[in-house]
């Protein structure tokens, strides 16, 4: 019934490759089906001006898409001289979500920036970015511990993200691009591995959605995120 | 217990003044406590390039804050040459929410742009903007009917927005600035008057929030939005 | 004979509302007929880089128009990423005029920025802005005296502005939009309450104007500005 | 008594070199003392979008300064990505003044853009620009007549500009940079050769200036502009 | 003797992976040692405005680096709102080189844009980009032939690029980052497979270089480019 | 045979006017045939942030064209808010070439910026800029020695630039615009007066060029640059 042929509660294959590039303190290629995102975490021993001298650190993120990561070529934002609204919105979402996972005071006056660059898009790029970014963040923090910059990890939770939606009246898990384009409702759910919500963002694409649809979608998200978090943890255990 | 002294489920005073300025097809001053936003709806007999020739209309929104609408002066975005990420994010939210209220095909090849300019901020400016914008939108549509541009109203629902949050462990309704600054969770809920959700956006400011907190917040939002929708309708009835 | 039906030397109604918004140190809504401008004065305990360490203060202004303050919607300058030439020119005029009213050394190393935001335009917005801004400036200075930042007021003069023009061969006072659009000459006059000129800017819209027309216009401006200054002073006396 | 040693009513040497560069339809190097400006007029057989199909032409101007035209190097505006407020203001003044000299309907659907680039600055660059630009404009119009694009000249007047000021209590003509930096009042006067004013812009740099000072300055401007206009005409006669 | 331990005339390992991403008409991952670049070629059935109606096509390129493709994180150009000079210069070089390989008239009114995005940098990114881009271009052209848009290939040559330099007085081939940082001279050579030069760009980093050094470097480049071209052709043959 | 009627190895007339404007520490008008460029060198007693405290100086350049320096008017880059790719590329080339001529450590913590502004273009503007800039640089350095800022000159070489090309199968020296527009190959050669190359940039405009063509062009360049260097030295000797 789904265009993808998957069961209503079935994730796409999720694959996490650590140490994908050699320079970043944490570097992850995350693949969720055909969606592929490079997540590079960079550590800097300084904080933004508004935090100077406050004894705490900062975690932020930037999101981008290669111009031909999509079906038709998009204008390169650097050439255009301006990031689009969607890009800005997603960058803020990723950064906010990751900050919820970290004890910023325990991080000390250090910054971690996670760059999420989509090299191939097939729906769910913001959720894949968060899932991959959290692993890159964990690696970057580990590198700080190894380097003696930190004594203990300030990472409070693993977080992961998945999209759920209502498609032809049914709640479905982890929408790919053809499903996302036709969904009536789209809900991005970011959860911590303690079972709490870090962020939820739901949008009625067609008609307003009802509370029971919200409940059904949140249940699917919970199931999917448990699986994704497991994959994150196995990846970090290797 | 709340800094504002209000009951947990008590809205601030909501006041809607129509025909606030003289040029716009719909012009509303919305006041939610000390938060004040001018919402001007402008009708244009054309659509953006990506919609040309498709027999449908467009509704969009732009949000801005006067530089001294806040406690300390912010840099004027026009002078800086760039809208901040928060501004872009809120503009997109307002536009998306209003489009959910309108049958774009029934609107014909016309555009309605709603400018929401905050002249005084005290928390909840994005929600107040949506609440006021929907009334301005209704007035703009009525002006199109009076002008003979439209025969029937393409407005499917009245929509309204309110923020709810968790403050010192309790769910509270309609956070003002001091409450918002200290809330553990912040959830913006936009509902249609048929009881469906148009958009929900929840963020854990501190610890991840639990499903039962989400339920409590959504219940408060539902109560508050029923009251706000009633105020919108009375305003339009005058 | 004037489109407005006013006598040649008759001002529109001028109304000044102080404390219009709650955050700014000086906040004025100035109404000149249907032209309405919010003038917010913000005090900061610092000066721009080029003045640091020179023992003097700074007064500057920024002007803007809400996108639908006018008959048809203008593109939002913040969204466009650039202030138009007219905006820049008027901002500079307001700032320069206000600086002429203030003893910058007596202001100490403090800055006052006056934001003039037009919420409804019907001609004469730059003059209304200056008239309102001077009252907001006076209030901001008074707040500094009350706060103990200043011992005495550095305000040397009250200044006010009005436009005069030549319309169908006659000099007229305080042009509204329909008059301004058809005037042969447009002259903005900013005077101090000692009877001196702070700034005059005259433009031949059609044919060059003759010295006797200039004299007639300046006489009208002098009369009008005496009335406006009186309204400013009464407003501040309340 | 003047820093320059000139009489109160004495202009600097004014020199106009036509055909200064080879590509432009009108190309003038204007020298007013040590102030040197290249004024190039470019003809294009089209009009800006807002004038299309209205059977009239357009005249506009752009002003710029070479980075080291001044005593210390200024940042190159093209590199900065933004024209300064002063640049925008002067560009608008030059364009507005030149349009007053031309019958835009008689120009047909053609545009003339005059670029005024200051290669050496010593005060009075905006006035020198206007004086030189009008000669370049005349040459460009003549080239259109020679090319058969126009049958008769749409140039209604020659216009010229000069600054006057009050320096140590005395009205003086044609201020150079040291005089301008210390003047109490600065007034730019643009006149047509029929004796009418095209634009006047006066600013009190120190104290407000009195009507009798205005009169004295305008008298000096009238004398100086008669001399400058004569130089323009002799230049065009060669 | 080289930091890399390679012989003076030894290339790094060059690896070309075609069909690296799924959307682009040509998609190549090129690896030259630790330098890795994604080259995506996008076909569009239109030409830039300056070529419309001239019966020819266009080939252009854009270059970018992921923020953490380098040893320390660079600011994201899209966020900065401006491409750096180096980025612009390299984009132009790649586009110019590729256009030399294509018969633009035979391409018809179609455009091919090649995006070269560096995911890991270790010296020679511009040369690797050209080498990879030419393979992606060949694939894109083949897709046009398969789609029936073109009947024959407009690709006149395969082109490839390599850097050569003078390091401690010796000419060396294919500099990696540590070598490049310490080279006395850096020369980028782009050749066609007919043995002609498409572009040469040589820069004295320290002292001016002598004609005999140029000759030695060009000889090395010729040898290296023969090997690289062979790898390109084998890749396309698979 | 050449459109210009010159011999294959014949330069255009080269004229160097020193002290062209009065403010800059070095100011040169360089004329190469009809190509005319103002080169102003500005000395500042500081270095860019990335060099602070390293005991060395900096030399950089900026290139620009007056909008009507060319046959048809180009958009003013300052008004457009962005420098074109060609402008950026040429600015970088000039700066890099001049740095090769200077011992930056001997310059001390001082910066010299050379602004090259083309007032009339007829081909070869980048080469003329470098030739003129080096003379302006020498003058600026001499002014620093006279002022006592430097004890000895850090100028290691005089550098000069010329373009050579292949036109109708023949190597030619110093291409003017009509020749450049039709050349098959264009090579810019920058040499020091010790006979070494500072920079070479060659581009195949049509077919790839062969090694023997490169040799022929380099021979012509060597001859032309010897003549240009002589003119530079005579100019500085006056």
pLDDT in tens, D37-52: 999 999 999 999 999 9
- Do the chains contact at E81 and A76, CB–CB below 8 Å? no
- Confidence bin at A142 (pLDDT 50/70/90): very high
- Greatest CA separation for chain F: 56
Which chain D residues touch C214 with a CB distance below 8 Å? 197, 200, 218
Q: What pLDDT sits at residue B206?
A: 81
Structure confidence at residue B233 as a pLDDT band (50, 70, 90): very high
What was the pLDDT predicted at C1? 85
Chain C and chain D share a number of CB contacts under 8 A equal to 88
Say if the Cβ atoms of A77 and E78 lie within 8 Å. Answer: yes
Minimum Cα–Cα distance from E21: chain A residue: A120
Between helix C211-237 and helix D211-237 the angle, nearest 10°, is 140
Residue D93 is assigned to a structural domain of this protein: yes
Q: Which of A195, A197, A208 sits opposite B214 (nearest CB)?
A: A197
Mean pLDDT for chain C overall: 97
In sequence order, what DSSP letters do the residues of D108-172 get, joined into one string? Answer: -S-EEEEEEEEEE-SS-HHHHHHHHHHHHHHHHHHHHHHTTS-SS--B---EEEEEEEEETTEEE
Q: Is residue E6 part of a domain?
A: no
Contact F39, F94 (CB under 8 A): no
pLDDT digits (tens, 9 = 90+) for F43-90: 999 999 999 999 999 999 999 999 999 999 999 999 999 999 999 999
Contacts with F, E 55-94, CB within 8 Å: 82, 85-86, 88-89, 91-92
The tokens for E143 are 């897709």
Based on C-alpha coordinates, what's the Rg of chain F?
18
Residue F181 backbone dihedrals phi, psi, to 5 degrees: -65, -20
Count of CB atoms within 10 A of residue B13's CB?
A: 9
CB C122 within 8 Å of CB C70: no
* Res F198 pLDDT > 90: yes
Cα–Cα distance, F93 to F87 (Å, whole number): 10
Band of pLDDT at residue E205, cut at 50, 70 and 90: confident
Task: Give residue F205's pLDDT band: very low, low, confident or very high (50, 70, 90).
Answer: confident
Question: CA C44 from chain center: how many Å?
Answer: 21
- Chain E, 23 to 62: residues with Cβ < 8 Å from chain A are 23-24, 27, 34, 36, 38, 40, 42, 44, 62
Question: Environment class of residue C151 by beta-carbon count within 10 Å: exposed (0-12), middle (13-18) or buried (19+)?
Answer: exposed
Q: Do A67 and E42 touch (CB under 8 A)?
A: yes
Q: B154: exposed, middle or buried (C-beta count within 10 Å: 0-12, 13-18, 19+)?
A: buried
Whether D204 and C194 lie within 8 Å, measured CB to CB? no
pLDDT bracket for residue A206 (50, 70, 90): confident
pLDDT at C206 over 90: no
Mean pLDDT, range B1-26, rounded to an integer: 97
How would residue F16 be classed by pLDDT, with cut points 50, 70 and 90? Answer: very high
CATH of the domain at D143: 3.30.230.70
Question: Is A100 in contact with B204 (CB distance < 8 Å)?
Answer: yes
Q: What residues have CB less than 8 Å from C18, skipping those under 6 apart?
A: C26, C27, C28, C135, C139, C235, C236, C238
User: Are D42 and F67 spatial neighbours (Cβ–Cβ below 8 Å)?
Assistant: yes
Token pair 């919607």 is found at C73
> What was the pLDDT predicted at E206?
81
Give the tens place of pLDDT for each residue, E128-151.
999 999 999 999 999 999 999 999
Question: Does E135 reside within a domain?
Answer: yes
The secondary structure of residue F25, as a DSSP letter, is S
Q: Is the pLDDT of residue A238 over 90?
A: no
DSSP string for F157-203: --EEEEEEEEETTEEEES--HHHHHH-SEEEEEEEETTS-EEEEEEE
Asked if residue E5 has pLDDT above 90, the reply is yes
If you average pLDDT over every residue of chain F, what do you get?
97
Given CB atoms, is F20 within the 8 Å cutoff of chain E? no
Work out the mean pLDDT of chain B and round it to a whole number: 97
Beta-bridge partner residues of C26: C41
pLDDT at C197: 98
Q: What does DSSP assign to residue E5? A: -
- Smallest CA-to-CA distance from E56 within E65, E48, E64 is with E48
Specify the pLDDT at position A205: 87
Name the packing angle between helices C211-237 and C125-146 (round to 10°): 40
On whether residue D4 sits in a domain, the answer given is no
Q: Is residue B90 part of a domain?
A: yes
Residue in A72, A122, A33 with CA at minimum distance from that of residue E25: A72
DSSP secondary-structure letter at B102?
B
- The strands making up D26-32's β-sheet, listed across from edge to edge, are D14-18, D26-32, D35-44, D111-120, D58-65
Q: Hey, what are E46's tokens?
A: 């239109």
CB-based contact (8 Å) between B119 and chain C?
Answer: yes
Q: What's residue E76's pLDDT?
A: 97
| Whole-number pLDDT of residue F206 | 81
How many domains in chain F?
A: 1
pLDDT(B25) > 90: yes
| Burial category of B26 from C-beta neighbours within 10 Å (exposed 0-12, middle 13-18, buried 19 and up) | buried
Nearest to F132 by CA among F23, F32, F22: F32
pLDDT tens across F113-163, in order? 999 999 999 999 999 999 999 999 999 999 999 999 999 999 999 999 999
pTM above 0.90, yes or no: yes
DSSP class per residue in chain A: --TT---TT-PPPEEEEES-SSSSSEEEEEEETTEEEEEEEEEES---GGGTTSS--EEEEEEEE-TTSSSSPPPPHHHHTS--HHHHHHHHHHHHHHHTTB-TTTT-S-EEEEEEEEEE-SS-HHHHHHHHHHHHHHHHHHHHHHTTS-SS--B---EEEEEEEEETTEEEES--HHHHHH-SEEEEEEEETTS-EEEEEEEESSSPBPHHHHHHHHHHHHHHHHHHHHHHHHHHH-
Which structure tokens are listed for D90? 């002067």
What single-letter DSSP state applies at residue E51? G
- Per the domain annotation, does E4 fall within a domain? no
Rounded Cα distance between F120 and F36, Å, is 5
Enter the DSSP assignment of F84.
Answer: -
The per-residue pLDDT of chain A, averaged, comes to: 97
E230 in a structural domain: yes
Residues in A closer than 8 angstroms to E27, CB to CB, are 68
Task: Provide the pLDDT for residue A1.
Answer: 85
Phi, psi of B234 (to 5 degrees): -65, -40
Per-residue pLDDT band for E231 (boundaries 50, 70, 90) equals very high
pLDDT for the residue F18: 98
State the Cα–Cα distance between residues C152 and C102, nearest whole angstrom. 12
CA distance C23 to B73: 9
Which residue positions in chain D have pLDDT lower than 70? none
CB atoms D79 and F68 under 8 Å: no
Positive or negative, the CA dihedral C44, C46, C49, C52 is: positive
Chain F residues with beta carbon closer than 8 angstroms to that of D66: 21, 38, 40, 115, 117
3-state helix vs strand vs coil in chain B, percent to 5: 30, 30, 35
The pLDDT of residue B174 is: 98
pLDDT on residue D54:
93
Find residue F30's DSSP bridge partners.
F16, F37
β-pairing verdict for E111-120 and E58-65: parallel
Chains with 3 or more CB pairs under 8 A to chain B: A, C
Question: Can you tell me the mean pLDDT for E221-230?
Answer: 98
> Tell me, what's the pLDDT at D198?
98
* Local structure of E215: helix, strand or coil: helix
Domain of F139 in residue numbering reads as: 14-237
Residue D69 near residue D128 (C-beta atoms within 8 A): no
List D216's β-bridge partners, or say none.
none
| Cβ–Cβ under 8 Å, residues C184 and C205 | yes
A26 annotated as ligand-binding? no
Angle at A109 between CA A105 and CA A112, to 5 degrees: 90
Q: How far apart are CA C130 and CA C199, in angstroms?
A: 11
Strand partners, C111: C44, C58
Could you list the beta-strand ranges (E) of chain D: 14-18, 26-32, 35-44, 58-65, 111-120, 159-167, 170-173, 185-192, 197-204
Within-domain flag for E181: yes
Confidence check: pLDDT of C163 > 90:
yes
Question: Which pLDDT value is given to residue A36?
Answer: 98
- Detail the DSSP E strand segments found in chain C: 14-18, 26-32, 35-44, 58-65, 111-120, 159-167, 170-173, 185-192, 197-204
Which pLDDT value is given to residue D114? 98
């Amino acid at each position: 019934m789904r265009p993808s042929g998957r069961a209503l509660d079935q994730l796409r294959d999720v694959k996490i490759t650590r140490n994908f590039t050699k320079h970043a303190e944490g570097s992850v290629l995350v693949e969720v089906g055909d969606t592929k995102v490079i997540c590079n975490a960079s550590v800097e021993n300084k904080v933004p001006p508004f935090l100077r001298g406050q004894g705490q650190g900062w975690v932020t993120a930037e999101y981008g898409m290669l111009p031909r990561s999509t079906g038709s070529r998009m204008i390169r934002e650097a050439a255009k001289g301006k990031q689009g609204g969607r890009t800005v919105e997603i960058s803020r979402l990723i950064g906010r979500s990751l900050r919820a996972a970290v004890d910023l005071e325990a991080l000390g006056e250090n910054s971690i920036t996670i760059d999420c660059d989509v090299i191939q898009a097939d729906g769910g790029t913001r959720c894949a970015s968060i899932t991959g970014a959290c692993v890159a963040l964990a690696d970057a923090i580990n590198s700080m511990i190894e380097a003696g910059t930190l004594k203990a990890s300030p990472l409070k939770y693993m977080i992961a993200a998945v999209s759920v939606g209502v498609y032809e009246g049914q709640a479905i898990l982890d929408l790919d691009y053809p499903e996302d384009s036709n969904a009536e409702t789209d809900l991005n759910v970011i959860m911590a591995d303690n079972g709490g919500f870090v962020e939820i963002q739901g949008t009625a694409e067609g008609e307003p959605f009802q509370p029971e649809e919200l409940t059904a979608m949140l249940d699917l998200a919970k199931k999917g995120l448990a699986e994704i978090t497991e994959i994150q943890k196995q990846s970090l255990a290797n």
